């Protein structure tokens, strides 16, 4: 069956969350004069935050915690690592992080070119994101990529996150697509590559960190332009 629908993960697949989060946290760090007040180096703080945030998102993906736990802990635990027990400060970072991150809208290298390429080849494009609904929609809109997509599905709308098959079922129903004519492209091995494959969809693993996890002949790329080798 001919491939007709291309589903993308959003964060770190098209929208450069790592870069945009880095810039946002750096802005907040400077506004609050954290280095002078607490003698914390920003690069060290960001490294700690990154590891804590990634771990919390994995726990959300695996159904161990909810998003409220993540929002309460990612900055609080990061500051606690440096001996700063200040819930008010952590809350300031959390609230302003979500408000301000969409003021930075850098895309992953090659994203717009690939979207134009797929559009020109008459593929119907969609988003399936594990992120928060309101933030996902703002990221797509403010970065200018929203018009490329027929549907945008966020985990909040379904109540489960990838790799849970219900989110794939929901998104395919919304898009009026069949799994046999659909493919998912994403950077998370478990949520995207394994999630789609176990659901019965074709998948391309965006191996950003060159993890070399290709198994059973699964398609894999290290740059978005390589999508053209498959579609």
Q: Determine the pLDDT at residue 212.
A: 65
The predicted pLDDT at position 215 comes to: 62
- The answer on 117 and 201 residing in a single domain is yes
CA dihedral 89, 91, 94, 100 (to 10 degrees): -80
Residues, the chain:
231
Query: How much is the average pLDDT of 195-202?
Result: 96
How high is the pLDDT of residue 65?
94
Of the residues 101, 130, 145, the one at which a domain ends: 101
Q: Are residues 79 and 140 in the same domain?
A: no
Residues 118 and 221 in one domain: yes
CATH of the domain at 118: 3.40.50.1000
Domain residues for 63? 17-101
Q: In this structure, what token pair is assigned to residue 100? A: 């301000």
Q: What confidence score (pLDDT) does residue 134 get?
A: 87
Flag the least confident range among 62-76, 111-125, 204-218: 204-218
CATH number assigned to the domain comprising residue 38? 1.10.150.240
For 88-132, the pLDDT digits (tens) are: 999 999 999 988 998 999 999 999 999 999 999 999 999 999 988
The count of structural domains within the chain is: 2
Name the domain boundary from 50, 73, 101.
101
| pLDDT for 214 beyond 60 | no
- Domain end position, chosen among 58, 86, 101: 101
Same domain, yes or no: 115 and 10: yes
């Amino acid at each position: 069956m001919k491939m007709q629908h291309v589903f993308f993960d959003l964060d770190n697949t098209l929208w450069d969350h790592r870069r945009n989060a880095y810039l946002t946290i750096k802005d907040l760090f400077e506004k609050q004069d954290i280095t002078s007040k607490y003698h914390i180096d920003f690069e060290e703080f960001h490294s700690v935050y990154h590891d804590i945030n990634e771990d919390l998102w994995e726990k959300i993906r695996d159904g161990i915690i909810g998003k409220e736990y993540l929002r309460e802990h990612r900055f609080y635990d990061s500051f606690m690592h440096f001996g700063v027990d200040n819930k008010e400060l952590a809350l300031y970072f959390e609230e302003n992080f979500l408000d301000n991150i969409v003021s930075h809208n850098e895309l992953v290298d090659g994203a717009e070119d690939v979207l134009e390429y797929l559009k020109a080849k008459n593929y119907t494009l969609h988003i399936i994101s594990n992120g928060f609904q309101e933030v996902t929609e703002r990221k797509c809109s403010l970065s200018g990529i929203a018009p490329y997509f027929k549907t945008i599905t966020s985990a909040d709308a379904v109540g489960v996150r990838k790799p849970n098959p219900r989110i794939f079922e929901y998104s395919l129903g919304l898009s009026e697509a069949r799994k046999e004519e659909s493919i998912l492209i994403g950077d998370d091995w478990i949520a995207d590559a394994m999630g789609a494959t176990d659901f019965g969809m074709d998948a391309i693993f965006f191996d950003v960190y060159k993890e070399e996890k290709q198994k059973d002949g699964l398609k894999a790329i290290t740059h978005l332009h390589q999508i053209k080798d498959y579609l």
